[in-house]
């Protein structure tokens, strides 16, 4: 048997169709079928995950052959098939000893070698290696099937868990488009308890009642498209426009009398020359000389005209939207209603980030910083940890701004939206920080502030591109609960 055939043994078994059979069996499960039919977005996300799993498991089962239990035997097999007949007969007992304890072919090999009359048959070596190859192939295939079955059970458990989580999430928020569902599916690995669901429901209800917070979140989501990029060149272009022009050929109004040769606009008294034969020649002379008295008419008509103007190059694509970096003041002064507003607004921005395929990072700051990545894999666990965090401590704005500025200097945070939610009862920032912020603004990063108190430091507001103030009165908050 050729050496290359034994090397490719694992690949041939892996490509025998057993992976596709396993996927087909998965897709025929009732729970999988029901979930796919219930929501097209879930169906697409589930299909993407299964196709990704297919490539990964194909590689895993192919690598089974390089494990120690097969690697040594395959190496020995490839060595033996290249021996000459005499050397093989002399070393046959040694080969069997090397197979003892780690090869399924050991007992078969031992029974073949013990038959002395068979060892001297010219075809013995070929028959021995052929039987060895068949046992090796069967053992390898079984090992790959076991590996496949183990991975399939893990995938099935994960799919069921995600389906359950997605069904629970439908109670909290609308799924939206397929892109949003796909990213929610990626985050849905976390198992949600009844308390987790109630916590997210509470935040979703609070956001729905407070329209002002919802409007702020939607405006923040649109900011990335409204930026004016100075790097886009202006080019001269020609457009066709419909314009109105004055014309003597449009008989809207009679504006006077003039000499011409237009018989349709002839004054009646000019026809008197035709009444007398001796004056008829005068009429024709006036006609040739364009001296007949005509009504002068004037009006407006519409026509297409080319208008030249400068505009942005049409080949420029829409700005790529960077991530949201949401810095939330978690100091004791923010507890109560401001804390609810901060969590609800961050939750709303997370939903916008999911729909627009953006990342959303939350940095809680007081005297220290805690970072949550709400849109990553297992992001729902991060969301729940964030929502359960209790606000306490003092306000220290400078470290979190430094940390955010450092992040925005990297490629991953290009064109990012930094949103600071605080009562802004804090001192002004140093000049060095202001210069760093201005440099980032020039690179199309945006700085936003949402103040949840009417006592914030006005000097702090000046460093942001956009500022929103949200602190409704107690009476208006009570009316929202009705």
Domain boundary assignment for the chain: 3-169, 211-226+320-480, 244-312
The per-residue DSSP string of 137-185 comes to HHHHHHHHHHHHHHHHHHHHHHHHHHHHHHHHHTTTS---SHHHHHHHH
Residues 6+ apart with CB under 8 A from 47: none
Q: For the packed helices 68-80 and 85-99, what is the interaxial angle rounded to 10 degrees?
A: 170
Order of strands, sheet of 234-247, starting from the edge strand that comes earlier in the sequence = 234-247, 292-312, 253-260
Fold exhibited by the domain 211-226+320-480: Rossmann fold (3.40.50)
Distance in angstroms (rounded) separating the CA atoms of residues 195 and 189: 17
pLDDT digits (tens, 9 = 90+) for 365-415: 887 888 888 887 777 888 888 888 887 777 778 888 898 888 888 888 888
Taking a C-beta distance cutoff of 8 angstroms, is the pair 375, 353 a contact? yes
pLDDT attached to residue 326:
92
- Quick check: 176 pLDDT over 50? no
Distance in angstroms (rounded) separating the CA atoms of residues 227 and 254: 54
Taking a C-beta distance cutoff of 8 angstroms, is the pair 404, 312 a contact? no
pLDDT attached to residue 419:
92
Instruction: Take residue 304 and report the two structure tokens written for it.
Output: 């297409």
pLDDT attached to residue 66:
59
Return the minimum-mean-pLDDT range out of 35-44, 178-187, 418-427.
178-187
Return the minimum-mean-pLDDT range out of 135-139, 247-251, 265-269, 271-275.
247-251
pLDDT digits (tens, 9 = 90+) for 216-239: 888 887 776 665 554 444 445 555
pLDDT digits (tens, 9 = 90+) for 62-110: 776 556 567 778 888 888 888 888 888 888 888 888 888 778 888 888 8
Q: Name residue, tokens 């038959």.
A: 115
Using DSSP bridges, classify how beta strands 466-469 and 446-451 pair: parallel, antiparallel or unpaired.
parallel
Question: What number is the average pLDDT over the span 283-305?
Answer: 81
Taking a C-beta distance cutoff of 8 angstroms, is the pair 190, 164 a contact? no
**R_g over Cα of the chain:** 41
Residue 449: strand, helix, or coil: strand
Of all residues in the chain, what percent carry a pLDDT higher than 70?
A: 79
Residue 9: strand, helix, or coil: helix
CA 174 to each of CA 39, 168, 177, 197, 305: distance values in angstroms, whole numbers, following the listed order = 12, 11, 9, 14, 50
Mean pLDDT rounded to a whole number for the chain: 78
pTM for the predicted model, two decimal places? 0.59
Residue 450: strand, helix, or coil: strand
pLDDT attached to residue 370:
86
Return the minimum-mean-pLDDT range out of 6-20, 118-132, 149-163, 192-206.
6-20
Q: For the packed helices 431-442 and 397-408, what is the interaxial angle rounded to 10 degrees?
A: 30
Question: What number is the average pLDDT over the span 145-158?
Answer: 86
C-alpha angle 294/297/301, rounded to 5°?
145
- Quick check: 172 pLDDT over 80? no
């Amino acid at each position: 048997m050729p050496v290359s055939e034994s090397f490719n043994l694992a690949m041939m078994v892996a490509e025998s169709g057993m992976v596709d059979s396993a996927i087909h069996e998965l897709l025929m499960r009732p729970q999988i079928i029901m979930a796919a039919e219930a929501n097209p977005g879930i169906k697409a996300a589930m299909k993407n995950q299964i196709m990704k799993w297919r490539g990964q498991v194909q590689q895993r089962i192919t690598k089974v052959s390089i494990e120690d239990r097969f690697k040594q035997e395959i190496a020995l097999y490839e060595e033996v098939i290249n021996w000459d007949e005499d050397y093989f007969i002399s070393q046959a007992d040694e080969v069997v000893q090397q197979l003892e304890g780690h090869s399924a072919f050991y007992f078969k090999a031992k029974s073949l070698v013990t038959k002395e009359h068979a060892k001297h048959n010219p075809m013995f070596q070929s028959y021995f290696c052929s039987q060895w190859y068949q046992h090796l192939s069967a053992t390898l295939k079984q090992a790959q099937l076991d590996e496949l079955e183990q991975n399939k059970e893990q995938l099935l458990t994960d799919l069921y868990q995600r389906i359950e989580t997605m069904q629970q999430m439908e109670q909290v928020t609308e799924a939206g488009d397929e892109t949003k569902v796909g990213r929610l599916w990626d985050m849905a690995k976390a198992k949600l308890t009844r308390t987790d669901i109630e916590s997210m429901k509470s935040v979703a209800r609070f956001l729905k009642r407070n329209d002002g917070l919802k409007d702020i979140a939607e405006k923040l989501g649109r900011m990335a498209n409204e930026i004016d990029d100075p790097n886009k060149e202006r080019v001269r272009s020609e457009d066709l426009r419909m314009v109105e022009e004055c014309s003597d050929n449009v008989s809207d109004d009679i504006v006077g009398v003039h000499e011409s040769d237009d018989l349709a606009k002839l004054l009646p008294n000019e026809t008197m020359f035709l009444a007398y034969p001796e004056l008829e020649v005068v009429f024709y002379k006036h006609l040739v000389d364009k001296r007949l008295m005509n009504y002068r008419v004037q009006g407006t008509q519409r026509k297409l005209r080319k208008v030249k103007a400068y505009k942005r190059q049409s080949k420029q694509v829409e700005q790529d939207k960077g991530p949201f970096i949401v810095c939330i003041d978690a100091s004791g002064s923010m507890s109560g209603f401001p804390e609810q507003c901060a969590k609800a607004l961050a939750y709303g921005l997370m939903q916008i980030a999911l729909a627009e395929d953006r990342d959303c990072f939350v940095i809680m700051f007081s005297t220290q910083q805690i970072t949550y990545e709400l849109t990553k894999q297992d992001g729902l666990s991060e969301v729940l940890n964030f929502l359960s965090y209790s606000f306490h401590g003092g306000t220290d704005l400078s470290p979190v701004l430094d940390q955010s500025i450092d992040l925005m200097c990297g490629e991953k945070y290009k064109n990012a939206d930094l949103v600071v939610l605080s009562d802004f009862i804090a001192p002004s920032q140093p000049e060095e920080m202001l210069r760093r912020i201005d440099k980032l603004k020039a690179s199309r990063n945006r700085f936003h502030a949402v103040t949840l108190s009417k006592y914030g430091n006005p000097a702090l507001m000046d460093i942001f591109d956009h500022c929103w103030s949200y602190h409704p009165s107690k009476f208006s908050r009570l009316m929202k609960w009705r």
